[in-house]
Amino acid sequence: MVHIGRQPIYDRFYDVVAYELLFRGTGGEDAPKTGLYATSQIIVNAFTEFGLEQIVGSRRCFLNLTRDFLVGDLPVPFEPGQAVLEILDDVEIDDDVLSGVSRLTDLGYQIAIQDTVGGDGYYELRSLAAYAKINILGRDRASLEKSVAELREFSKMQLVATGIETDELSALASFVKVDFYQGQAIGQPQVLSSQSISPSKLRRLELLAALNAEDVDLGSVVEIVTGDPGLSFRVLRATNSASAGLPRKVSSVHDAVVMLGLTRIRQWVALMLVTDVAESATDDQLEVTMARARLCQIVADRLDLRGDTAFTIGLLAGIADLVGEPVEELATRLPLTTDITEALVHRTGRLGRVLAMVRAYEASDPNALHGSQVSSAEFAKAYLAAVGWSVKTVGGVLGSGPRRLPPVASQIRR
């Protein structure tokens, strides 16, 4: 079974106009969770297990996004439309976030922020937002009136009062003239449950490999999807979603693949793998695997090679380690092009050389960069960037806090 929570948002006539989607791991009384793993699960479940129509109908839904999605480390895998992308107040607002949010709004996504957002970029962020959420719990009338007046300077922004736990707070929200209302006193969160048809992890890896081939074969992609009921179900759900931005519904997996597009399917599969890895590896293993993939990508980009393909090669090499399977055996079960197989198994070709350098560098081999176009200083900087990204990403997936750096990174930093 899969579960998702939703809490209604009302207009001033107390008609439901939207829902905030919430993480529910077991469907019981578990507390709401945030973070990368929770966000990924909400998105996958909402769009590919339930379908937005079943959860929210034609209404809008508010989705809390982590920094990873805002800055583009992870793609938003659905089209602009019903979903409002909500930025929580624990996200550090810096140039990368502002640039990412600006890009998302240019693409047509609507953004919601908290009224407590601060920092140097607060004004620019507010100018990009379509909604601002104001938690009125524990606030007095004077401070609320001040917040509302400041936010009303942004004419396109609509205000949502949250934390309405009593009738008195509901009346206060009405007095300060917000646009929408959310809280336990007027609408408690509900848990929706559905029977899940989980795709096999091998099929997801096969699909990821096929989608990252230099010349993607549409027939192979369709064959992999149709060969797994869970993948077929999820692709059809994602395509038939009211938020997919498509002119009509589809009736076959082939139509779904064509209409959704290979890029969107690649993004969905990557997001499914985020939820997979959190269940099948320790955090230490996960950090090493993700850092290796990211470092392959950074180095490949530096050498004007395909960074996304290099990331996949590094990721598959790490997955082989995680499942305890020789990489050549894993490669034989995936629809990889010859050059990718050679790079992965024999570390030949330019991409194979990238993987070889990365693995040698991880092992502190002094000859790791011999004959390379990348200097030791550049490689060290790239390695630290990859490790930093990995630690943040894995911390988000597992819900853990900042952790120690892997041994090689610790040595470099010292």
| The two three-digit tokens of residue 41, written as one number | 């699960």
| The two three-digit tokens of residue 172, written as one number | 């206060």
pLDDT in tens, 332-352: 766 567 888 889 899 899 899
Q: Which of 32-36, 269-273, 289-293 has the lowest mean pLDDT?
A: 32-36
The sign of the torsion formed by the CA atoms of 23, 28, 32, 37 equals: negative
Residue 191 has pLDDT above 80, yes or no: yes
Q: What are phi and psi of 61, to 5 degrees?
A: -130, 145
The Cα 330–Cα 203 span in angstroms is 12
Residue 372 has pLDDT above 50, yes or no: yes
User: In the chain, what are the domain boundaries?
Assistant: 2-194, 199-276, 281-414
Is there a contact between 208 and 266 (Cβ–Cβ < 8 Å)? yes
Axis-axis angle for helices 283-302, 376-398 (nearest 10): 140
* pLDDT value for 41: 82
Residue 32 has pLDDT above 60, yes or no: no
- Cα–Cα nearest to 340, from 323, 322, 365, 315: 315
The Cα 378–Cα 383 span in angstroms is 9
Is there a contact between 50 and 235 (Cβ–Cβ < 8 Å)? no
The Cα 75–Cα 339 span in angstroms is 26
As a whole-number percent, the residues of the chain with pLDDT over 90 amount to 23
At position 225, the amino acid (one-letter code) is V
pLDDT average, residue stretch 17-29: 78
* pLDDT value for 406: 43
* pLDDT value for 30: 53
Find the length of the chain: 414
Residue 127, Cα to own-chain centre: how many angstroms?
24
Task: Please state, as a whole number, how many other Cβ atoms lie within 10 Å of the Cβ of residue 405.
Answer: 18
Residue 192 pairs in a beta bridge with 4
What mean pLDDT, rounded, does the chain reach?
79
The Cα 158–Cα 152 span in angstroms is 8
Q: What are phi and psi of 2, to 5 degrees?
A: -115, 155
Residue 278 has pLDDT above 60, yes or no: no
Residue 271 has pLDDT above 50, yes or no: yes
At position 398, the amino acid (one-letter code) is L
Is there a contact between 2 and 21 (Cβ–Cβ < 8 Å)? no
* pLDDT value for 328: 85
Residue 326, Cα to own-chain centre: how many angstroms?
30
* More confident call, 172 vs 46: 172
Q: What is the dihedral of CA 49, 283, 65, 32, to 10 degrees?
A: 70
Under the banding of pLDDT at 50, 70 and 90, the label for residue 408 is very low
Under the banding of pLDDT at 50, 70 and 90, the label for residue 223 is confident
* pLDDT value for 401: 43
Q: If DSSP codes are grouped into helix, strand and coil, which group holds residue 391?
A: helix
At position 330, the amino acid (one-letter code) is L
Q: What pTM did the predictor assign? A: 0.60
Look up the CATH architecture of domain 2-194. Alpha-Beta Barrel (3.20)
| The two three-digit tokens of residue 401, written as one number | 């806090």
Residue 404 has pLDDT above 80, yes or no: no
pLDDT in tens, 197-219: 556 666 777 777 777 666 777 88
Helix, strand, coil in percent for the chain, rounding step 5: 50, 10, 35
- First-to-last CA distance in the chain? 47
The Cα 297–Cα 54 span in angstroms is 38
The Cα 266–Cα 263 span in angstroms is 5
Buried/exposed 282-307: b ≥16 CB within 10 Å, e otherwise: eeeebbbbbbbbbbbbbbbebbebbb
* pLDDT value for 243: 42
* More confident call, 210 vs 157: 157
Is there a contact between 244 and 78 (Cβ–Cβ < 8 Å)? yes
Under the banding of pLDDT at 50, 70 and 90, the label for residue 398 is very low
The sign of the torsion formed by the CA atoms of 259, 19, 21, 98 equals: positive
Q: What is the 3-state secondary structure (H, E, C) of 61-92?
A: EEEEECHHHHCCCCCCCCCCCCEEEEECCCCC
Residue 133 has pLDDT above 90, yes or no: yes
Residue 146 has pLDDT above 70, yes or no: yes
Under the banding of pLDDT at 50, 70 and 90, the label for residue 174 is very high
